[in-house]
Amino acid sequence: MQQKKIHNRKKRKEILVKGLVIFQLVVFAVFFLFPFVWMLSVSLQTEAELMTTAGFLEQIVPKSWRFENYADVFKTLPFARYFANSGIVTFLTVLGTLLSSSVVAYAFSKLRWPGRNFFYSLMLVTMILPSFILMIPTYKMYSAFGMTNSWIPLILPAFLGGGAGNIILIQQFYQAVPGDIVEAARIDGAGEAGIWWRIMLPLSKPVLATVAVFAFLFSWNDYLGPLLYVNDQRLTTVALGLRAFQSQSSTNWGLLMAGSVISVVPNLIIFTFGQKYFLEGTKAGAIKG
Amino acid sequence: MKWKKKAGKKKRKEAVMGYLFAAPWLIGFVVLMAFPLFYSLYLSFTNATTTSMSTQWRGISYYKTILADPVFWGSVGNTLKFVLLSVPLNLLFSLYLALLLNAKVPGRKLFRALYYIPTLVTIVAVVYLWRQLLGSSGVINQVLSWFGITGPDWFHDYTWATPGLAIMGMWSVGGTVVIFLSALTDVPVELYEAVSVDGGGWFTKFFHVTLPMVSPILFYNLLTATIAAFQIFVQPMLMTGGDYNTNYLGYSIYTTGFTVGRQGYASAMSWIMLTIVGAFVLVIQLARKKWAFYND
């Protein structure tokens, strides 16, 4: 009897705590999602409505439902062009990152070569180097080679290692692949390139998916790169192009928010497909850091 | 003897393959990091600009000028304010969210995904969105007014622009949450059970199990968040144009180097900035050696 009472009290407490946790989770979900709802709502409003409606609770449901805002985004700016540009740059960045970071990860996990440990430590150090210090000299270098006002500075780094974080993520995955598999393939006469392509790559699909999502989001959202290197309207990317809704004499909030919604759609799609791998896989790079 | 020779040959071949496979990163390291780093140091001693071809040696004169410049020190002070405000705010907030998500409640995977979604939004959209949300009659101020608080016009206010940017940063904290969460899920359940058996409550569990177990990740997040916060620059550029005490170092260096075009001067600024960041990194690393708990 006594025991049951204690048990009941314990159970009640547990339910209370769980309820409290869920309540907070919901409150924070509102904090994270409300801006999206607001963005979506404003993207469907006329300028006049936005000006006259006071109070966000009234603002949250648009009255004008101006879907033309979305069409106007493509009419007032060459937004389709921006979209295609971002698509090309992002595709090449993802491709380059996947190829080069997995090749390098193979060297750092399955091959023995003098200096390997030294370079690995160096790679870890580069992760904490503030990239700011490199901005001006890198710009001058690309400028000296006449590569400014092109996409080369945006894409080239992806093919040259694709970032220490990505390499380490894949390297730690490769490390877990038993050395016997690689050794057996070597005895069978397979070359290193063959082993990487036919054994390691297929095995590492989950981590490659993670890296692909990271590279995609980084490239699609990159603002600083295009800001420095792309002056030509014809080369402008979405992340940079969005700015133009603002700088023209006055801000058209409806169009700006419609453009923002459009710009985030590819990310949402990639995230939805990749989240299974990548929300689980983010940790590996951080563990040893 | 013959076998040894063969083994040596095999070893050499593997070494060659090693360098070949590592080549993309090795080249990238030299061309995109090591060389620019030295080049930047060289530039900081010259009067290089974006336009002129000929540059003159200036020695350490720019360093002297910068260190005697009250505007520069104002910029340092504003940067430190932002770093010291946003880093603890982000870390505590994301650790708290991770703790909530780690509770065994239904729908936690959904919440985790929802919390992550803001990080998908491109920075220009984030800034314009939050300029509205934190406007003088924006959502945040309307909510504050329910409690009788008159909120400031955040991004047109010398005191509140920096806290405003820090709050905006809290919206994009999802990546840190995910890292914390995976560290939390790795804490062995037996440790919590042991505390329960000894009659310890959540306080003991948090401070004697959770915190030590996630401390390596905590320091990792502290390090990356600090370095990132020091480099903040696109946000003030788009939000305030560097006004209202948001002329952070990154912003000052960008405008000096690209808008004004004084790249030598800006390079000297960035080396001073690197020294300050380096000091913070050093302190964090020392603290990590002292306090972080490693199981192995």
Report CA-CA distances (Å) from A265 to A43, A154, A231, A259, B231: 14, 22, 25, 10, 28
As averages over each run of 10 residues, the pLDDT of chain A (289 residues) reads: 72 88 95 91 85 73 86 89 96 97 96 95 91 93 92 96 92 90 91 93 90 94 94 91 75 88 94 79 46
Contacts of B274 in chain A (CB under 8 A): 130, 132-133
Provide the token pair at A68. Answer: 């033309």
Cα separation, A266 vs A278, in Å, equals 16
> What amino acid occupies position B75?
S
- Closest CB to B217 among A18, A157, A286: A286
Chain A residues with CB under 8 Å of B238 CB are 243
Looking at residue B146, which CATH number applies to its domain? 1.10.3720.10
Q: How many domains does chain A have?
A: 2
In a domain, B27, yes or no: no
Q: Residue B245's pLDDT is what?
A: 93
Give the closest of B124, B263, B274 to A133, CB-based. B274
* Cross-chain Cβ contact A107/B111 below 8 Å: no
pLDDT in tens, chain B (296 residues): 555 667 788 888 889 999 999 999 999 999 999 999 999 999 999 999 987 767 889 999 999 999 999 999 999 999 999 999 999 999 999 999 999 999 888 888 899 999 999 999 999 999 989 988 998 888 899 899 999 999 999 999 999 999 999 999 999 999 999 999 988 988 888 888 889 888 888 888 899 999 999 999 999 999 999 999 999 999 999 999 899 999 999 999 999 999 999 999 999 999 999 999 999 999 999 999 988 887 65
Give me the CATH number covering residue A143: 1.10.3720.10
Using the Cβ of A169 and the Cβ atoms of chain B, whether some distance falls under 8 Å is answered with: no
Q: CB distance A134–B36 less than 8 Å?
A: yes
Flag whether residue A265 sits within 8 Å of chain B, measured between CB atoms. no
Phi and psi, residue A110, nearest 5° = -120, 0
B62 in any annotated domain: no
Q: Which of B:97-126 have CB within 8 Å of A?
A: 97, 100-101, 103-108, 111-125
Best residue of B10, B25, B170, B272 to probe chain A, by most A CBs closer than 10 Å: B25
Query: Whole-prediction pTM value?
Result: 0.92
A267 CB-side CA count, 13 A: 23
Q: What integer pLDDT is reported at residue B30 of this predicted model?
A: 96
Is residue A216 less than 8 Å (CB to CB) from chain B?
no
Q: Where does a domain end: A13, A33, A59?
A: A59
pLDDT at residue A285, rounded to an integer:
45
Rounded to the nearest 10 degrees, the angle between the axes of helix A132-144 and helix A152-159 is 110
Domain boundary among A59, A87, A104: A59
**Does any domain span residue B272?**
yes
Predicted confidence (pLDDT) per residue in B49-107, tens digit: 987 767 889 999 999 999 999 999 999 999 999 999 999 999 999 999 999 999 888 88
Nearest to A107 among B18, B97, B122 (CB): B18
Residues 121 through 150 of chain B touching chain A, CB cutoff 8 Å:
121-125, 128-130, 132-133, 137-139, 142
Q: Which residues of A touch B288 (CB under 8 A)?
A: none
Q: A196 and B21 in contact by Cβ < 8 A? A: yes
Q: Report yes or no on B32 lying in a domain.
A: no
The per-residue pLDDT for A288 is 40
- As a whole number of angstroms, the distance between CA B181 and CA B96 comes to 10
The label of the residue with tokens 């780690």 reads B102
Q: Is residue B227 part of a domain?
A: yes
Q: How many CB pairs under 8 A join A and B?
A: 257
Instruction: Yes or no: say if A242 and B122 are a contact pair by the CB < 8 Å rule.
Output: yes
Domain holding B141, by residue range, is 68-291
Distance from CA of A1 to the nearest CA of B (A): 22
pLDDT at A286: 45
Residue A27: CB atoms within 10 A of its CB come to 10
Reading the block at residue B32, the tokens are: 């995109």
Q: What is the pLDDT of residue B296?
A: 54
Contact (CB, 8 A) for A150 and A235: yes
C-alpha dist (Å) from residue B86 to A77, B91, B280 = 35, 8, 15
Q: Largest Cα–Cα distance of chain A, in whole Å?
A: 85
- Measured distance CA(B157)–CA(B244) in Å, rounded: 6
Which of A16, A32, A59 is a domain's end point?
Answer: A59
Do residue A105 and residue A29 come from a single domain?
no
Instruction: Tell me the chain B residues in contact with residue A106 when contact means C-beta distances shorter than 8 Å.
Output: 21
Residue B46, strand partner residues: B57
Domain that holds residue A264: 68-287
pLDDT at B11: 85
Residue B104 counted as domain residue = yes
B142 in any annotated domain: yes
